Amino acid sequence: MEKRTLGKTGLEVSLIGFGGIPIQRCNQWDVDEIIENLIEEGVNFIDTARAYTNSEEMLGEALRKWGRENFFLATKTPMLTYKDVMTDVKISLEALQTNGIDLYQFHNCKTMESYEIIMGPDGGYAALIDCQKKGLVKHIGITSHSYEVLDRALDEGYFETIQFPYNIIENKGAALFAKAKAGNVGVIAMKPLAGGAFIHTNYALRWAAENRNISTLIPGMDSVKQVLSNTAVGNNFAPLNDKERKTLEADAKALGKTFCRRCGYCSPCPQGIDIPMQFIVEGYYRRYNLEEWALDRYNSFVSNASDCIECGECEPRCPYNLPIREMLKNTSELFDPLVHKKV
């Protein structure tokens, strides 16, 4: 597995890391098997978060079985204040069954106001500095979907790593990553597969890995099959050839800009709708010529797009500011006449 240095942390991390969002839908046996295969394939970087429901707990149990020493472990807190961050660090340590966390990050710092709270006298940054002094946290990072927040963080120089989305569609981060590299700040690229939206995942990962300012890519994985597919990129990295690049560019063009990245932050829906799954099956119907499969899946859901009452609770949670209610309406308009016809 190719290794790159995670900025001033000095950690030599695998080019392909592990993103811990999707294992929320796995059972413990699945996670144990995933961790075993990550070790075999040379992955040594795991990223999870307090916000990923039971991800920390399942990873902690798997690491107890397969060896905490095999990984640099990163997690995140959405909290902003000193007291709340201290509480989250304690919870993370217990859940992950470890005495220390290699990288603790502020999770999705959305606004300058949030950043200023974090960096204030009673803010979370001071809490992590105190945790460093106690040996509970080794390095401190920040993640965001806001270019402006991370740009300011780089200017001020307090953080050892940044984490930002990056793929062929969401490529604004390239300039940010160059700035980070110049300041010896580690770069963790999230959403390299756009939340699973790309059909040619190998090409998508290789496209992102071509950017040498990136330290590690953290695609989410919820199966051994995905582990083997994604780690092949880091174990035998090669830049895209012209044909492969054109194929990926066609995928990107088909997706456009307004699409779901499957992060799950929109959940829970009061009507019980699995919102990301609605858009997944729509994508398979519209883009990948799997109409029958997509229709069957849509028809199997207990709640689907037509059950949306447009309450709007989901939209403020979306880091991409997607018009979810309008998108669900479009999904309903596509599938409902077909469901009724099939019945």
For residues 218 and 47, the answer to whether their CB atoms sit within 8 Å is: yes
Query: What global pTM score does this model have?
Result: 0.85
Q: Lowest mean pLDDT: which of 16-25, 59-68, 98-107?
A: 16-25
Shared domain check, 10 and 156:
yes
Tell me the pLDDT band of 288, cut-offs 50, 70 and 90. low
Length of the chain: 343
| E strands, 6-77, in order | 12-14, 18-19, 45-47, 72-77
Look at residue 279 and tell me if it is in a domain: yes
On the question of pLDDT at 342 being above 60, the answer is no
Look at residue 166 and tell me if it is in a domain: yes
Longest pairwise C-alpha distance within the chain:
65
The pLDDT score that the predictor gives to residue 25 is 77
Per-residue b/e over 131-149, b at no fewer than 16 CB within 10 Å? beeeebbbbbbbbbbbeeb
Interstrand relation of 137-143 and 3-5 (parallel, antiparallel or unpaired):
unpaired
Look at residue 245 and tell me if it is in a domain: no
Look at residue 152 and tell me if it is in a domain: yes
- Classify residue 303 by its DSSP letter: S
Look at residue 256 and tell me if it is in a domain: no
Interstrand relation of 3-5 and 12-14 (parallel, antiparallel or unpaired):
antiparallel
Shared domain check, 302 and 209:
no
CA distances (Å), origin 308, targets 135, 296, 321, 323, 343: 48, 20, 18, 13, 21
Look at residue 40 and tell me if it is in a domain: yes
Shared domain check, 170 and 224:
yes
> Tell me: the pLDDT tens digits for 65-111?
999 999 999 999 999 999 999 999 999 999 999 999 999 999 999 89
Amino acid letter, residue 217: L
Shared domain check, 68 and 216:
yes
Number of domains making up the chain: 2
Shared domain check, 83 and 31:
yes
CATH of the domain at 107: 3.20.20.100
On the question of pLDDT at 330 being above 50, the answer is yes
| E strands, the chain, in order | 3-5, 12-14, 18-19, 45-47, 72-77, 101-106, 137-143, 161-165, 186-190, 216-217
For residue 77, count other CB atoms closer than 10 A to its CB: 24
Tell me the pLDDT band of 341, cut-offs 50, 70 and 90. low
Shared domain check, 14 and 120:
yes
Shared domain check, 171 and 63:
yes
Instruction: Using the 3D structure, point to which of 193, 213, 239 is the last residue of a domain.
Output: 239
> Tell me: the pLDDT tens digits for 113-153?
999 999 999 999 999 999 999 999 999 999 998 999 999 99
For residues 188 and 176, the answer to whether their CB atoms sit within 8 Å is: no
Shared domain check, 326 and 207:
no
The pLDDT score that the predictor gives to residue 70 is 98
Instruction: Using the 3D structure, point to which of 186, 220, 239 is the last residue of a domain.
Output: 239
What is the span of the domain harbouring residue 333? 275-342
Shared domain check, 288 and 217:
no
Tell me the pLDDT band of 57, cut-offs 50, 70 and 90. very high
Look at residue 28 and tell me if it is in a domain: yes
Interstrand relation of 186-190 and 216-217 (parallel, antiparallel or unpaired):
parallel
Shared domain check, 27 and 160:
yes
Shared domain check, 326 and 190:
no
The dihedral sign for the CA sequence 218, 77, 321, 120: negative
Average pLDDT, the chain: 93
CA distances (Å), origin 111, targets 121, 176, 182: 18, 17, 24
- Residue 164 forms beta bridges with which residues? 189
Look at residue 11 and tell me if it is in a domain: yes
Locus of tokens 């009452």:
309
Shared domain check, 84 and 221:
yes
